[in-house]
Amino acid sequence: MTLYPVVLCGGSGTRLWPLSRAAMPKQFLSLVGQQTMVQETLTRLSGVSSSLGRPIVVCNEEHRFLVAEQLREVGVTPSTIMLEPEGRNTAPAVALAAIKLLQADPDAVMLVLPADHVIRDVTAFHRAIGLAFQAVERGALVTFGIEPESPHTGYGYIKRGKAMADVSGAYAVERFVEKPNAETAQSFVASGEYAWNSGMFLFQARHYLDELKALRPDIFDACMASMANASNDLDFTRVDAAAFRACPSESIDYAVMEHTTAAVVVPAQIGWNDVGSWSALWDVAEHDANGNACRGDVYLDDVSNSYVRADGRMVTVIGLDDVVVVETADAVLVAHKDRAQDVKHVVNRLNAEKRSESTFHRRVYRPWGSYEGIDAGGRHQVKRITVKPGQKLSLQMHHHRAEHWVVVSGTAKVTCDDSVQLLTENQSTYIPLGAVHRLENPGKLPLDIIEVQSGAYLGEDDIVRFEDIYHREK
């Protein structure tokens, strides 16, 4: 049986604001190592099995090009990237992947992994997968339980039942427990019978769908209908949006694992952390002699047990303990480490006030490259635009703004109505309001331009697309 990684990329990661935002959540960020979290999730599987199939990644449609680009950067070629028109939790997401896998391999085994977890001991993780695979060969639906390091109240727990007779180290699941209070968590850890619920699973695709059909036929039917009219678009699989939106939102635990008689837990000590808050990120980061975790241009004086991150400017902290300080181009967070979870209140307030800082960074990524806001006023806006080699923006026009482009570096191919010209460093052009235009990079180096917009309305929704190689809506 072939093992297929199924990576779930649907989270929003709001508890790590201002670094993690809706348009660029934590799974696409480099939080611990040099790679992003989704890249680490896939690359740590190297060598796990001699029969490792190409992965399926399930993500929100808005993040599809981020996923494609980040997988390309680490040389991972997915079998497909499945697009959810809306999030419906893990049970439907995994069902879509299972249906897709069974179209090509009736014996497919799925290794279901969230894209945003830290695993320090990769060797131990591989051993746990091998053990779980043995249980799956005997008909189990396996969940990975993390041996608890503390009476953590932020995780669900799994109680072990009887040991499997023919797979040493695997146990029947006696019950799942919601996040407990501190006293209950302490008793769980003291008993030695409980593990943290990691949200990682291993099972045959066919077995999972059979259990889902028996236990939650409403979810099963909605996912089957979604896939019946699915279509392929570049590297992506688009499910039927209306059918999927009608699907109930439910986790694998609630939909299947808490009710099936085939649930098995494999306890593991793998250096796991779901990095659900800034204090959790401090837990897994490397510390200096004073217990501080720093990243970027940081200067500390009489500071201890703190997390300080500078993404653009120098950050100095003096005489504080147990704090979180995070600087980005357009926002700064300062909090006591014990209150790190309360950042969700900030995000809720930003959303209520319809402020862009909850969704976008100053640098916004597109399939062709990125743009970064530099300045904005009542009737003008300045952006720095970077176009990757060989890429091009859509053929488009604007109803409310004109644009001036100045090439900073690289070569630009500019279409403006019936005119096509090549521009190089320090050359410029003007795009009148209403002109049909396109920007391309025909070179082998990145193209950087400064764009000055002027007009009565400068929103990103003032774009009429006539042609787009990335198949975005017109």
**pLDDT for residue 13:** 79
**pLDDT for residue 472:** 83
3-273 adopts what CATH topology? Spore Coat Polysaccharide Biosynthesis Protein SpsA; Chain A (3.90.550)
List the chain pLDDT tens, one digit each, 474 residues: 999 999 999 887 789 999 999 999 999 999 998 999 999 999 999 999 889 999 999 999 889 999 999 999 999 999 999 999 999 999 999 999 999 999 999 999 999 999 999 999 999 999 999 999 999 999 999 999 999 999 999 899 999 999 999 999 999 999 999 999 999 999 999 999 999 999 999 999 999 999 999 999 999 999 999 999 999 988 899 999 999 999 999 999 999 999 999 999 999 999 999 998 999 999 999 999 999 999 999 999 999 999 999 999 999 999 999 999 999 999 999 999 999 989 999 999 999 999 989 999 999 999 999 999 999 898 999 999 999 999 999 999 999 999 999 999 999 999 999 999 999 999 999 999 999 999 999 999 999 999 999 999 998 889 999 999 998 875
Whether the model pTM is above 0.85: yes
d(CA 343, CA 278): 9
Contacts of 342 (CB under 8 A, 6+ apart): 335
Residue 196, strand partner residues: 146, 157
Domain ranges of the chain: 3-273, 278-344, 363-467
Q: 319, exposed or middle or buried, with CB in 10 Å at 0-12, 13-18, 19+?
A: exposed
Residue 343 CA from chain centroid, whole number? 19
**What architecture is domain 363-467?**
Sandwich (2.60)
Q: What is the rounded (10 degree) CA torsion for 469, 470, 472, 474?
A: -10
Q: Summarize pLDDT for 296-350 with one digit per residue, the tens.
A: 999 999 999 999 999 999 999 999 999 999 999 999 999 999 999 899 999 999 9
d(CA 360, CA 189): 40
**Cis peptide leading into residue 18 (ω within 30°):** yes
**pLDDT for residue 234:** 81
d(CA 272, CA 119): 5
Instruction: Yes or no: say if 33 and 40 are a contact pair by the CB < 8 Å rule.
Output: yes
Residue 11 phi/psi, 5-degree rounding, is -70, 160
Closest-CA residue to 403 (of 370, 433, 365, 443)? 433
3-273 and 363-467: same fold?
no
Instruction: Yes or no: say if 450 and 383 are a contact pair by the CB < 8 Å rule.
Output: yes
Run of H or E residues at 163: strand 157-163
Run of H or E residues at 307: strand 307-310
d(CA 160, CA 105): 32
**pLDDT for residue 12:** 79
**pLDDT for residue 460:** 87
Q: 183, exposed or middle or buried, with CB in 10 Å at 0-12, 13-18, 19+?
A: exposed
Instruction: Yes or no: say if 32 and 271 are a contact pair by the CB < 8 Å rule.
Output: no
HSE of 363, CA atoms in CB hemisphere, 13 A? 12
Angle between helices 217-228 and 90-102 (to 10 degrees): 50
Residue 31 CA from chain centroid, whole number? 12
At position 62, the amino acid (one-letter code) is: E
